[in-house]
Structure 1
Amino acid sequence: MELRSVAGLNEKFFIVIRGKSRKGFSRGCIGRVEADLQPRGELTGLLYTGAGGPKSGGTVRRDDTYPLTRHQAQLLIFISSPSKRLELLCNPQLFSAICDLSQDDLVVVKYKKGHLPGLVKNLMQIGNKENKDDLHMLGFEVEFVDNDHKLSSKKPAPLPLFSAADIIQVVPSHAVPLGLHWKDGQCQSREAVTRINSMPIIKSRTRQESENHTEQSAIQRQSSIQSLATLELGSMVEVVSNSGITVYGVIRWLGVPGGKTDKFAGIELDYEVKGCSDGSYVGQRYFTCEERKALFVPMTKCSPDGRFLRSSSGRETLQLIKTPPVPIFEDCEEDAAPLPEAEVLSLLVGRMKGIQGHINSCYLDATLFSLFSSSVTLDNIYQRPADTEQAITRTLRKIVNRLRRQGFVPAESVMNFRKQLGCDTFRTEEKDPEELITVLFQKVLCMEPLLKIRSREETSQGAYTFQIFLEKEQMGQMPTVQQLLDTSCLSGGLKFDEMPSCLMVQMPRFGNKYKMFSHIIPSAELDVTDLLYNSPRECFICGHLAEYECLQCLPDSKLQPGRIKQYCTTCNSQVHAHPSRQAHCPKALAVPDGVDADTPVPRHKMQLFAVLCIQTSHYVSFVKYGPDTHSWLFFDSMADRFGDDQHGYNIPEIKACPELGDLLSQSEEELARLNPSQAPELVRRLLCDSSMFLYQNPANPLSKPNHRQP
């Protein structure tokens, strides 16, 4: 069969990405559009539960879906778990590479309890297509590199079949490791590999390109010999087996092991290999890593990682791509304080500044930078007495200290922290910041929930972040964070039991395209006075002690739409005497005892100190580093890259962003007239891509008494 299915031009498939189950459709299920109800913002479609034709139909909100091609739908439907489908969809770079796989592309797949490399040999159809409505499933036949590190050519049994969710890495044929030699698009090892014609090679290269590659390989080997003396701890290396298969890793130990006379290297491999250890060699431990990823070999067998050898100036002269030197960091017992405002720009602004990203880590990099780079409120929450501090907390503390002292944290430090989080998906996959924040505060920092939220006067519940839930019709086209928070709380009958020390507000969106509002105006301050339970509030009309609150008055165009409306008894009667409001149902407030009706009500406000943004599954952040209005930074852990997408390293960058201060200094009337298309680039990015706004209460910082025992 052909790699891609030929379908009708009008076919439209989709996957449900959010929302509650609605008329047969739930998160992760796949359907085909039958009708697009534009005015209602809904789709009617047919639901597929497996191979074959649709099983049922229903309706779903258009904003709760993500469009798919037939080919994408067929790959996803072979994944039995709806949550696994969504996980893959949230990694668009990997999913796109899987959709474009060609015969003999090298992949790494999940197999039993580990990961194995192999070559894609066939695209398999599961199910018989009997009519145009049928949607068959697609899987990949993969030929493993066997335990002796050579390609298997004997096929006594059918090749194993894998779904798209089983593939964790894709290496196209033009980027194949040097240990495999290519001629005319075919992979050659000691035994010839037979091509299966049902999966054509889309990315095959000409004979001339293959000859160039062979010549480059020779140059690379010569360069590797010349560079052997430069190998040291942390160097990225390759080792070629006798059968010609290359494995890659990082040197974690150098020395002469017991019973040997030659110098050896202890290498942590990129993926698990049978027969390797966890850092031990002949019963002696030299370093620690995951099982089956530690390889010990003589230094003479090591070469600089050939994937980072590139041609320069169009000639065949190759040079090694070297990671920029990282200053040695000597941690001391004294924790680094947040940087003074006057020192931030000189230490932090520039390339190779901040936290270096690696393998979908931008959610983690942006969140840690937002929380700990300069916030006074969050300054001491990662500190614990030395005798009770967890290892993972010490790792976090070193990251923060290194960021504040040197202005740069290498990817290796953060990858170590990801491993210590304990969940495999935190190590290699992109997560949402709210997932990380919950684990970070609950498991790592051992803190009680930051928020205590009461729902309709019931017992309060703890939370670490606050998710905005509302109907789009309740707001204007470009709401402020204050309006979103007020409307969401009133609509859900929610109140805060006490003034939060830190309030992280999640915007109503999913990814880049599926967001409820195209632009959101940041509120420099959040006034939470009217969102506190059993706290005195002033009448919206006369300023006296309020006794009633009305949800239906919230959008009233004659009463400042979007503002919470609470009234004293007199004003409540007068406002609701109007014919348009007589059907309203104002709710009595819990008024504290002993509060005089004329006593001024103090306002409780929180200050914005960071904003997390996401665009096309990539997180960045804006952080306020001082009291000055214009003291804002923009941070991107993967702003640039040295080397191609498969290899190389990410270059983090921090920019000063004083223009954000200009935006936040404007009045509500000026912001309402704002044209986002005319705003500066970074400001426009914040307005369009904001995902979470972080606020702090400087008068009541998070402190050690809030810690709970682990």
Structure 2
Amino acid sequence: METKATVGKERFFIVVRGKARKGFCRGCIGLVEAETQRGELMGLFYSGSGSNNAGSPKSGGIVKREDTYPLSRHQAQLLLFVSSVNKRLELLCNPQLFSAICELSQDDLVVVKHKKGHLPGLVKNLMLIGRKDNQEDLHMLGFEVEFVDSDNGVSSKKPAPPPLFSAADISQVVPSYSVPFGLHWRDGTGAALNRKAVTRINSMPSLGSHRRQILENHQSPNPHNSRAPLEMGSIVEVKSNTGVTVYGVIRWMGILNGKTNEWVGIELDYDVNGCSDGTYDGKRYFSCKGNRALFVPVTKCSPDSRFLCSAARQETLKPSEPPSVPPLEDSEEDAPPISETEALSLLVGRMKGIQGHFNSCYLDATLFCLFSSSTILDNICHKSSGSEQPITCTLRKDIVNRLRRQGFVPAESVMNFRKQLGCDTYLKEEKDPEEFITVLLQRVLCKEPLLKLRSRGETSQGAYTFQIILDKEQVEQMPTVQQLLDISFMSCDLKFEEVPSFLIVQMPRFGKKYKMFPHIIPSTELDITDLLYNSPRECFVCGRLAEYECLQCLPDRKLQPGRIKQFCTICNTQVHTHPSRQEHSPKTLALPEGVPCAPGTRHTMQLFAVLCIQTSHYVSFVKYGPDPRSWLFFDSMADRYGDDRSGYNIPEIKACPELGDFLSQSEEQIAQANPSQAGEPVRRLLCDSYMFLYQRPSISLQE
């Protein structure tokens, strides 16, 4: 076999996909000794921390170069101490976190996974693990972490050396220069951090001075640089008059009662004595844990300096070189929807979600709604590899699995999918999400129409989405989705033949600018019982079995306008004896034989995603779990790096717990709210909603 010797530095790698072959398997860490002309790597592989010979090289093996991801020696040592190969690959798929872990310095603040939960601590040392007498071993690296007591600073109980953690145990990193010397904890007393001297091994990266220099460069006054704009969800810091700095996320912006300038409500990272749970002067502005809500003038806030060094590193990237993405393992096993417990760590941040390119936002936002957290289309999309089309395989492997495993889908994957759609307009032009959903379900996934509708002529028709059609005078200025759906069905004399598993409701707007209603209230639960054909229904007045339905009663302000009006025989007679209703023409309801005298179970649908449009740009809100506050906001083109020719779009996902708080209010409270003062996520949801996506409760979101 022809080979060429490696030249220069050591070349380490991790196997990210492919089946086991001559010693190497997925998750193995190896050292390249030679490379064949066919692009195969020959080398040694190492045992991890779960082996008796941890760090010792094993006999040589062969692996395809495209099935590997290159590592530095430091990265290989950190990953080797992670005993689970799945956790190694998960960490590799979170490049921001892994990069920060590789740069940890002494006294950096980290959050580690512990049997007691996620605990903050200080990195005290980087430990070499392995037999020092064997020079061929790849010594593993672990972190000694000293826990920080949230009440008293660094824990005073030190009967034993600090516990040892692997890189996979670290869930958050805060550089040492951003940790205040004299943090004020919940009891209001200062607790200076105990920074004892620790001998650092040679492989410990000493990056503190370099990062401080970066920070100083960014903090130096420059009259040409304007202050970074702050908005809902911005990560900020506030420095008190005593010099203590606290950090948090903006959850509310607006004018407080009795104030004239703009203030912000911040949810802090830690409990602080004297703070609230989101209330100020007896009025609630947002919700969070007690002692974590701080209200200050917006002028007192500034962007979190802990992330400035990350921004500096991003500025050194060339516009033509977007951040590299680790190759996705070639596995026949389909990735499950992202669970509620993993969604925030995997998805939230910049360069997360689906990267937009060439007017693809309609497609990016729709795909994120359908496949990130919901199981609704899994049984359709995930077929056996022998029976699926190439385009379905691309959707499943390059988009759905990549999104769920790595939290990021590069633009090239979506562009390849658009090419396979077979129409040049899908590649270059912006399409309507309704058209794309129909093509996706009908041609790509070969799915029958989701909805079976029966019209007034007793004819049945299929549809993939439902377009709201009504007269503006039939409903109030700020209607709910429930009202719009009920009135539209009544006006068009339509009924569902069966309960759909999936319902996409398209709002009444025409083109990219005109919308019939300036604000629409989302219905988190949609009751379709009264919209089912041949289904027993409840009398609007007395609750007995309904036998009549009246369209003219819909707008009646004395009968709860917007609600479907159906009556038993007695109530129908009484209601229509009123002089204003004597001209109405109630319609007799068709009921199947043997129907019980009392109405049966209510049939409801749960909201799990909303597609929004502002001018010509589509974004989406997605509910990623059962908790009412589990909402995400996704924008595939939130920012751009470089110019139109050589740059690339930066997608971003933000957590929106305040959206859940807002939607948990009653419809009356929501209707009285001022969208412009409720925060940007809430405003966009109320003003820009285009499609609401619902599913049956039995098809639940991932917990």
Measured after TM superposition, the shift of residue 424 of structure 1 is 1.2
Which residue identity is paired with 2:442? Q
Aligned residue number for residue 437 of structure 1: 437
- C-alpha separation between the residues in 1 aligned to 2:346 and 2:492? 45
Q: Structure 2: how far apart are the matches of 1:318 and 1:670?
A: 48
Give distance in 2, aligned partners of 1:693 and 1:331: 34
Q: How does 1:204-353 map to 2 (within 5 A)?
A: 320-321=318-319, 322-353=321-352
CA distance in structure 1 between the partners assigned to 2:317 and 2:355 by the alignment: 23
Which whole-Å deviations, capped at 9, do the CAs of 1:223-247 have from their partners, x for residues lacking one? xxxxxxxxxxxxxxxxxxxxxxxxx
1:594, distance to aligned residue in structure 2 (A): 1.2
SS of 2:521 mapped into structure 1:
coil
Residue of structure 2 equivalent to 1:278: none
Task: Check conservation: 2:468, 2:488, Cα contact below 8 A.
Answer: yes
Q: How does 1:237-636 map to 2 (within 5 A)?
A: 320-321=318-319, 322-398=321-397, 399-597=399-597, 599-636=598-635
The answer to whether the 8 Å contact 1:377/1:698 transfers is no
- When normalised by structure 2's length, the TM-score is 0.54
Taking the aligned partners of 2:490 and 2:584, their CA distance within structure 1 comes to: 14
For residue 517 of structure 1, report the CA deviation from its aligned partner: 0.6
The answer to whether the 8 A contact 1:505-1:692 is kept is: yes
- Equivalent residues of 2:375, 2:699 under 8 A apart: no
Report the counterpart of residue 57 of structure 2 in structure 1.
none
Output the CA distance in 1 between the equivalents of 2:387 and 2:512: 42
> What residue is the counterpart of 2:641 in the other structure?
642
SS at match of 2:580: helix
User: Corresponding residue for 2:287?
Assistant: none
Ranges of 4+ aligned residues in structure 1 off by more than 3 Å: 317-320
SS at 1:670 equivalent? helix
Tell me the CA shift for residue 423 of structure 1: 1.2
Which residue pairs with 2:261 in the alignment?
A: none
1:359 is matched by which residue type in structure 2?
F
Shift of 1:700: 5.7
Per-residue Cα deviation, 1:432-471 (whole angstroms, up to 9, x for no partner): 1000000000001101100001111521100000000111
Q: Unmatched 5+ residue regions in structure 2?
A: 1-36, 39-221, 225-314
Q: Write out per-residue CA displacement over residues 248-287 of structure 1, whole angstroms, 9 at most, x where no aligned residue.
A: xxxxxxx99xxxxxxxxxxxxxxxxxxxxxxxxxxxxxxx
Amino acid at match of 1:393: T
Counterpart residue type for residue 413 of structure 2: S
What letter matches 1:542 in structure 2? C
Shift of 1:326: 1.3
Which residue identity lines up with residue 593 of structure 2 in the other structure?
D
Q: Secondary structure at the match of 1:641?
A: strand
Give how far 1:677 is off.
1.7
Residue of structure 1 in register with 2:151 after alignment: none
After TM superposition, give the deviation of residue 668 of structure 1 in Å. 1.9
Aligned mates of 2:641, 2:615 — CA distance in 1: 21
Query: Separation in 1 of the partners of 2:388 and 2:512?
Result: 39
The one-letter code matched in structure 1 to 2:384 is P
1:680-699 pair list within 5 angstroms: 680-699=679-698
Instruction: Tell me the CA shift for residue 319 of structure 1.
Output: 8.1
What is the letter of the counterpart of residue 566 of structure 2?
A: Q
Instruction: For residue 636 of structure 1, give the secondary structure of its aligned residue in structure 2.
Output: strand
> Where do 5+ consecutive residues of structure 1 fail to align?
1-254, 257-312, 703-710
Cα displacement (A) at 1:602: 1.2
Alignment partner, residue 668 of structure 2: 669
Correspondences of 1:164-203 after superposition (within 5 Å): none
SS at match of 1:381: helix
Counterpart amino acid of 1:516?
M
After TM superposition, give the deviation of residue 574 of structure 1 in Å: 0.6
The 5 Å alignment of 1:137-148 reads: none
**How far apart are 1:323 and its partner, in Å?**
1.1
Identity %: 76
| Cα distance, 1:377 vs structure 2 | 2.6
Contact 1:511 1:614 in 2 (8 A): no
1:512 and 1:674, CA in 2 relative to 1: closer, same or farther beyond 3 A? farther
**What amino acid maps onto 2:675 in structure 1?**
P
1:258-317, Cα deviation, whole Å (9 max, x unpaired): xxxxxxxxxxxxxxxxxxxxxxxxxxxxxxxxxxxxxxxxxxxxxxxxxxxxxxx99xx9
- Give the secondary-structure state (helix, strand or coil) at the position aligned to 1:538: coil
What residue in structure 2 maps to residue 228 of structure 1? none
Q: What's the offset of the Cα at 1:318?
A: 11
Alpha-carbon RMSD across the aligned residues, in angstroms, is 2.1
Aligned residues: 390
CA distance in 2, matches of 1:615, 1:646: 24
Provide Cα deviations, 1:554-606, integer angstroms capped at 9, x if missing partner.
01000000000000111101100100000000001111211232x24211000
TM superposition shift of 1:425? 0.8
Corresponding residue SS for 1:439:
helix
* 1:331 Cα deviation from its structure 2 partner: 2.5
Q: Structure 1 residues 661, 320: CA separation in 2 closer, same or farther (over 3 Å shift)?
A: closer
Asked if structure 2 preserves the Cα contact closer than 8 Å seen for 1:511 and 1:615, the reply is no
2:681 counterpart SS class:
helix
CA distance in 2, matches of 1:369, 1:500: 21
- Partner secondary structure for residue 591 of structure 1: coil
Q: Assess if the C-alpha contact under 8 Å between 1:511 and 1:617 holds in 2.
A: no
| One-letter amino acid matched to 2:430 | E
> Given the two structures, how large is their TM-score scaled by the length of structure 1?
0.53
Q: Flag the 1:320–1:376 CA change in 2: closer, same or farther, 3 A.
A: closer
Q: Deviations over 1:170-200 (max 9, x none)?
A: xxxxxxxxxxxxxxxxxxxxxxxxxxxxxxx
